Structure 1
Amino acid sequence: MAQYVRDLMTANPVTLAPDTPVRQAAQAMRDQGIGDVLVVDGDQVRGIVTDRDIVVRGLADREDLSGCSLADVCSDELITATPDEDVDTAVTRMREKAVRRIPVVEGGRAVGVFSLGDAAIEQDSLSGLADISAARSNT
């Protein structure tokens, strides 16, 4: 029986505006024990920012992050899924585009985030990725 993205996604994602300071996003990630926030303009998803994006696109390129916003570091060529999409289809698309997390969107609005870790926990609970993904945050 097929599994759907809605069954494995993390619902109620943290969403922030494009002009949000990177520091605020990092604090939200720390406080929520997550590795990503969705960038939204009104109700429309415009991008995703991961903790890695902040390091690679923010810290690595700037001496001072005080003027750096999410628009400066987000991945804006979005790969998305819908809640009713088959998990295997979403994972295949993620592999093709080499992304680990994608916004789950319904009617243009963010309803969740789906990660390879979510899939690993469900589909191969003995894998290293599943163990790491299921572990409590170390922050």
Structure 2
Amino acid sequence: MVDIRTFPRGEVVAAERDTTAADLASRMAEEGVGSIVITEDDQPIGIVTDRDLTVEVLAGGEDPTSVTAEDVMTEDPVTADLEAGIFEVLSRMEEAAVRRVPAVDDDGKVVGIVSFDDFVALFGRELEKLGNIAEAESPAYE
């Protein structure tokens, strides 16, 4: 079974629970990411997404300089062990209805992040290979 060891993007954008929503949004913009993993001792304790900031802070009329990551984060985020199979991770993402999961090592420390987009890209490449095989074995199209 193929595991997710090669999937995680190694540079995880992380912050502490007392980081303000304004600072989180700025970091997301600077880093070009849609989520920030909230860590304590390098272990994920939460995750904040751009949607969390939009819905909870902006639409909620909150002051982004006083709301913290702890106020809006999803606690105890779904994580993926590096040895987990891709379909196991996809199932966990589906069950939790999440698009991003921190990848953790044997000590539970964040070593990367796996996203829905990573899987779409993988399956797209694999489907292209299948299409090439099918075309090679089929009569030519006119």
What TM-score, normalized to structure 1? 0.83
Q: Give percent identity, aligned residues only.
A: 32
Partner residue of 1:78? 77
Counterpart-to-counterpart distance in 1, 2:122 and 2:5: 13
CA distance in 2 between counterparts of 1:63 and 1:99 reads: 24
Match of 2:36 in 1: 37
Alignment of 1:19-58 (within 5 A): 19-58=18-57
Tell me the SS of whatever aligns to 1:79: coil
- Counterparts of 1:5 and 1:113, CA distance in 2: 10
Partner of 1:120: 120
| Superposition deviation, residue 38 in structure 1 | 0.4
> Unaligned 5+ residue runs, structure 1?
128-139
**Count of residues in correspondence between the two structures:** 126
Pair 1:64 & 2:71 matched: no
RMSD: 1.7
With normalisation by structure 2, the TM-score equals: 0.82
In the alignment, structure 2 segments of 5+ residues that lack a partner are 128-142
Helix, strand or coil at the partner of 2:6: helix
- The structure with the larger Rg is 2
Structure 1 residue runs of 4 or more that deviate by more than 3 Å after TM superposition: none
